[in-house]
Structure 1
Amino acid sequence: MRELKYLNKYLFKYKWHLLLGTIFVILSNIFQIIPGLLVRDSIDLVVDNIRLYKSMEGTGVQDNFFKVFAFGILIYAGLILLMALLRGVFLYFVRQTLIVMSRLVEYDLKNEIFEHYQTLPLSFYRRNNTGDLMNRISEDVSRVRMYLGPAIMYGLTLITLFLMLIPFMFSISAKLTWYALSPLPLLSLSIFLVNNIIEKRSEEIQRHQSRLSTLVQEAFSGIRVLKSFNREAQSVEKFEKASDAYKHQSLKLTKMQSLFFPIIMGLVGISTILTVYAGSTEVINGNLTFGNIAEFIIYVNLLTWPVTSLGWTSSLVQRAEASQKRINEFLRTKTNITSEEDLIRDIKGKVEFRNVSFTYPDTGIKALKNISFVINPGESLAIIGTTGSGKSTVSNLVSRLYDVREGSILIDDVPITHYNLTSLRSQIGYVPQDVFLFSDTIFNNIGFGIKDPDQQRVIQAAKDADVYQNIIEFPQGFETRVGERGITLSGGQKQRVSIARAIVREPKILMLDDALSAVDTKTENNILNSMRRIMQGRTTIIISHRVSSAKLANRIVVLVDGFVVEEGSHDSLIERNGFYKDLYEKQVQMDEEEAKG
């Protein structure tokens, strides 16, 4: 229960739900115990008066006696029915307090986890896969909820019922109580063992279900590849094998589940037989009445489900403990990207790298090695290099997705670590190398970075990114939904929408990380012409492996294996006959061949 202590703050927050739920559990138990007393008295009433009734046979008094006798039985029946109704009412209140409490805690816990996820650095997401993150906020929280709801509810029912009923049963007959209760520990142990097997097989089914879902998702996502390579038959064969394994596990689970109720009914039957046997001997000895036997049979049945649920509840607590441990692991993970002075102010856009070296903490790859440069407000810098040269790392560091450990980065001559993170990032427009669009409308994707997107600003951003014409040609224009990860758009359209999303914020610092890699030469030229206007008055960092994009910048930095090997303007670098000129000539030649083709 050590890990579950984390939830105590929520139990305290919803203490009135817990307190009222406990009161309602006690009241519902009272109203299910009272019918046993009423049944006992009604049976004893019948047994005690049946001989008297028969002795009046042939007399006029018998009919009057029967009416009084029947009316008494009717009153008992009415009281039993009333107790059942009152118990039902309070059981409803139990669920409206304890189960509602568990749902409220589930809501709070999911929000807390998701909010905590948002604070964690990019390195955290590189270390953990998406499926694991999703499982902790869905499956694990659901298991914790089962502890907070059903486990607590049935646990309270069991404890309060035992505290109320067992002493009462012993006060009537200790011998009969021992006989009646003797099979119940065996019942609880049996259910615990069976339920553990059921849980293990259920988890195995879940794993097979996940594999089946992954297989189907990959098949549907890659349907073009499947059809192109004529692999439909092999795909069906893989699905059949996975489906057969899922069926096999499901049948194993069904066989085990089929033992659940026979075990319950069998042991309850044994308890009833023992109660009748011991009760009969006590009746013969004159210590008990027939009503006591019926009363004890009712009590045994009352205790059956709480005792049965003990094994199930123990399993729920075990699963919740394991799930909360997994949740706590992430909640204890703290971000190392924090603000030292929480500085909030408008930035002008000066960016300076001073002897910056950077090694990715999750992979150990040293991406940057002692690089230095300065970009003054309103100027532009192009960072050129081949794949793996460390270009994208620069953008990650400027937007503080990572923090440097060697050297320093300054914005407007102030260490970047002094700025409030939200304030800093709100003044940066970033177009990532891997474009991600949300499953929403084009309008909302472009206006994603601003609180209340203005239609005119969104339209102008689309025009600047040279995607406006494509958008209005869609039947629904800006209200067109782009589908999951922007699947309905081409690669070039997605990149241009991503550019529009960055510039609609009117950022002080604009970073383009290989933003034109998926567009053709003509579209690239159109966007570059628009970018000249957009870049005026704002600091721009253009990260690219294509020299054509770099020509926009005032200055160019060439990275090779994390080192700055060349720096200067386009013309000055061409004159040096170095790495930049070789790259430029190769790309010009490729563009000419592409144009001829």
Structure 2
Amino acid sequence: MRLFAQLSWYFTREWRRYLGAVSLLLIIAGLQLIPPKLVGVIVDGVTRDGFGTRQILLWTGVMFVIAIAVYLLRYVWRVLLFGASYQLAVELRGDFYRKLSRQNPAFYLRHRTGDLLARATNDVDRVVFAAGEGVLTLVDSLAMGCAVLIVMSTQISWQLTLIALLPMPVMALFIKRYGDRLHDRFRIAQAAFSSLNDRAQESLTSIRMIKSFGLEERQSAQFADEARDTGVKNFRVARIDARFDPTIFIAIGIANLLAIGGGSWMVMHGALTLGQLTSFMMYLGLMIWPMLALAWMFNIVERGSAAYGRIRALLAQAPDITDGACPLPAGRGVLEADIHCFSYPQTESPTLCSVTFRLAPGQMLGLCGPTGAGKSTLVGLIQRHFDVTDGEIRYHDIPLPTLRLNDWRARLAVVNQTPFLFSDTVAHNIALGKPEATPAQIEAAAKLACVHDDILRLPQGYDTQVGERGVMLSGGQKQRISIARALLLDAEILILDDALSAVDGRTEHNILQNLRQWGNDRTVIISAHRLSALTGASDILVLQHGHVAQRGQHETLAAQPGWYRDMYRYQQLEAALDDEQEPQEVTGHA
């Protein structure tokens, strides 16, 4: 029952709908008490008072009218009650999505995608079912049960009512015990379902890799193990669930036996008439639904309570990155970083140490270094995916943590290492951050990213559906479409995090030339493994093991002994060999 207390905020807000539904349920409960009474009148009238056909038809017509009224009223309360519960689903999922959209990468290190999807779908459905069917069964069972008990006790015989209800306290104890066990087992089963959901999501996302490595049988076996474990845990829930109905029907059977036995004895001794006993048995039949409903209510409410606990646990998690209150000044500003030390959460060794730079509008910062040197970490800190633990990053001479997060990120346009495209048209993917962009603006951004000609070669050009995650495009095409998306934003700061790794050298050169013209008064940060992308940078940081091993412009670094010169010469040699090999291949084919 604690679920109803947890959802009291919603019941209070939607009190009109719930009050209307509850009022109609009470009216229906009152109307359902009339037919058993009329049946008793008809039985006594036929056996004792000599009722004629006209009187029998009259009372039968009254019962028919009551049935029609009950039908119409049930339609209305269902609209009121379930309309309110479905609105709760909309709000819970909206709150859930907003919470997910405000979380930083550290949150997604703790929670798997499949688990989040399970909470947003299956768990929300359980809560909504409890807020609809749970309220219905609670009110209906209590209203009908109390009304029937009052009528049986006051209008027929309180002694017979007491005899018939002897099994009920024992039944209530069993149902309470089953409800507590169901809560714990259902919570475990939902966690297992989350794991199964996550396994399915990972398999579908990586289906190309699975097929290329021939891992279909292995993945199928692992999925079968997860499904089997989920099935076992759900079976344990079903075993508890299956105990409710037999317990209730046994209690009802004993109650009927006691009522018939006690009632027959009272009829034989003149304490009851046959019509009254008939009405009593019909009223006792009406008690079947309240008892079944009560058990069902315990069942669905305990499931809903376990599901709501999982949802609340996630909604209660505050973002690791707190929003600042300071508004960001208008216009372009200087970006400065003075990072003394940064370590990822729950790690002891520092990822970045003693990293400083100052970027004025129109300047370009280049980041390079071996894999794992800290380039993407520095880019993530600039985007405030994490906060600097020792030191600070400032814009307009204001520390980033004090700025409004949305204001700061609105000044950034970012292209990550692994570009993500939505299952939509090429044009809509480019215009993701600027939906009001005109076709001419979209094409201009595509031309800057050197992807316009590739798009025109697609079956429907800019209206081509790219498939889920851009499955029908090459890696280089996806990167260039992502670059076009960032350029269309016309942001003050452009960040390319190894965003040119999948394009050839000539295309890279053309894109960089376009960026220099586009970014005359904009700040550009490029992280790259291919050093030719950094030749036009105002300042280059060579990171090694989280430290700045070298810094300067391209010409200076290319002449200094160190990692940059060695890697640049190696890449030049590699490019020269590739250029020599191409004519040989053409001659061989000829």
Query: Is this a same-fold pair by TM over 0.5?
Result: yes
2:86 aligned with 1:103, yes or no? yes
- Residues of 2 paired with 1:309 and 1:245: CA distance? 31
Counterpart position of 1:82: 65
Contact (CA 8 Å) 2:112, 2:198: kept in 1 or not? no
Which digits, 9 at most, give the CA deviation of each residue in 1:481-520, with x for residues without a partner? 2222221211111111111111100111111000011222
1:192-207 to 2 correspondences below 5 Å? none
Which digits, 9 at most, give the CA deviation of each residue in 1:306-338, with x for residues without a partner? 212222222322222222222222222223534
2:507 aligned with 1:547, yes or no? no
- Residues of 1 paired with 2:559 and 2:332: CA distance? 33
- Residues of 2 paired with 1:235 and 1:113: CA distance? 31
1:202-281 to 2 correspondences below 5 Å? 224-225=208-209, 228-229=212-213, 265=249, 267-281=251-265
- CA spacing shift, 1:222–1:191, aligned 2, 3 Å: same
Counterpart position of 1:32: 32
Q: 2:370 aligns with which of 383, 386, 398?
A: 386
- Residues of 1 paired with 2:214 and 2:342: CA distance? 46
Shift of 1:449: 1.0
Contact (CA 8 Å) 2:113, 2:201: kept in 1 or not? no
Q: What TM-score, normalized to structure 1?
A: 0.88
The count of corresponding residues between Structure 1 and Structure 2 is 580
Which digits, 9 at most, give the CA deviation of each residue in 1:185-211, with x for residues without a partner? 555566677788888888888778777
Contact (CA 8 Å) 2:338, 2:356: kept in 1 or not? yes
Deviates more, 1:5-14 or 1:265-274: 265-274
- Residues of 2 paired with 1:322 and 1:253: CA distance? 12
- Residues of 2 paired with 1:213 and 1:343: CA distance? 41
- Residues of 1 paired with 2:318 and 2:373: CA distance? 30
- Residues of 2 paired with 1:403 and 1:229: CA distance? 39
- Residues of 1 paired with 2:513 and 2:45: CA distance? 101
Secondary structure (helix, strand or coil) at the match of 2:319 reads coil
Which digits, 9 at most, give the CA deviation of each residue in 1:115-158, with x for residues without a partner? 12222233222222222222222222222212211111111112
Q: 2:384 aligns with which of 388, 400, 403?
A: 400
Indicate the RMSD between aligned Cα atoms, in angstroms.
3.0
Counterpart position of 2:393: 409
1:360-375 to 2 correspondences below 5 Å? 360-364=344-348, 366-375=350-359
Which digits, 9 at most, give the CA deviation of each residue in 1:40-81, with x for residues without a partner? 11111111135xxxxxxxxxxxxxxxxx71111111111112
Secondary structure (helix, strand or coil) at the match of 2:496 reads strand
Letter in 1 for 2:148: L
2:576 aligned with 1:592, yes or no? yes
- Residues of 1 paired with 2:237 and 2:325: CA distance? 58
- Residues of 2 paired with 1:534 and 1:207: CA distance? 50
- Residues of 2 paired with 1:424 and 1:241: CA distance? 46
Counterpart position of 1:44: 44
- Residues of 2 paired with 1:165 and 1:539: CA distance? 78
Deviates more, 1:188-197 or 1:535-544: 188-197
Shift of 1:465: 0.8
Shift of 1:247: 8.0
Contact (CA 8 Å) 2:448, 2:511: kept in 1 or not? yes
Counterpart position of 2:566: 582
- CA spacing shift, 1:219–1:159, aligned 2, 3 Å: closer
- Residues of 1 paired with 2:428 and 2:211: CA distance? 34
Shift of 1:569: 0.6
- Residues of 2 paired with 1:77 and 1:318: CA distance? 42
- CA spacing shift, 1:83–1:207, aligned 2, 3 Å: same
1:182-581 to 2 correspondences below 5 Å? 182-185=166-169, 224-225=208-209, 228-229=212-213, 265=249, 267-364=251-348, 366-581=350-565
- Residues of 2 paired with 1:419 and 1:242: CA distance? 45
Contact (CA 8 Å) 2:114, 2:194: kept in 1 or not? no
Letter in 2 for 1:166: L
Which digits, 9 at most, give the CA deviation of each residue in 1:263-294, with x for residues without a partner? 65554344333322211111111111111222
- Residues of 2 paired with 1:593 and 1:469: CA distance? 28
Contact (CA 8 Å) 2:428, 2:435: kept in 1 or not? no
Contact (CA 8 Å) 1:187, 1:307: kept in 2 or not? no
Shift of 1:391: 0.9
Which digits, 9 at most, give the CA deviation of each residue in 1:365-409, with x for residues without a partner? 522112111011111110111121111122222222222231121
Counterpart position of 1:12: 12
Shift of 1:526: 2.7
Letter in 2 for 1:490: S
Contact (CA 8 Å) 2:355, 2:547: kept in 1 or not? yes
Secondary structure (helix, strand or coil) at the match of 1:348 reads coil
Counterpart position of 1:134: 117
2:140 aligned with 1:157, yes or no? yes
- CA spacing shift, 1:254–1:348, aligned 2, 3 Å: closer
Counterpart position of 1:65: none
- Residues of 2 paired with 1:133 and 1:245: CA distance? 19
Shift of 1:241: 7.0
Which digits, 9 at most, give the CA deviation of each residue in 1:339-387, with x for residues without a partner? 4443143231421012442222254552211211101111111011112
Counterpart position of 2:98: 115
- Residues of 2 paired with 1:520 and 1:355: CA distance? 34
- CA spacing shift, 1:484–1:567, aligned 2, 3 Å: same
- CA spacing shift, 1:330–1:456, aligned 2, 3 Å: same
Secondary structure (helix, strand or coil) at the match of 1:138 reads helix
- Residues of 2 paired with 1:204 and 1:6: CA distance? 21
Letter in 2 for 1:24: L
Contact (CA 8 Å) 1:123, 1:362: kept in 2 or not? no
Contact (CA 8 Å) 2:333, 2:361: kept in 1 or not? yes
Contact (CA 8 Å) 1:14, 1:101: kept in 2 or not? yes
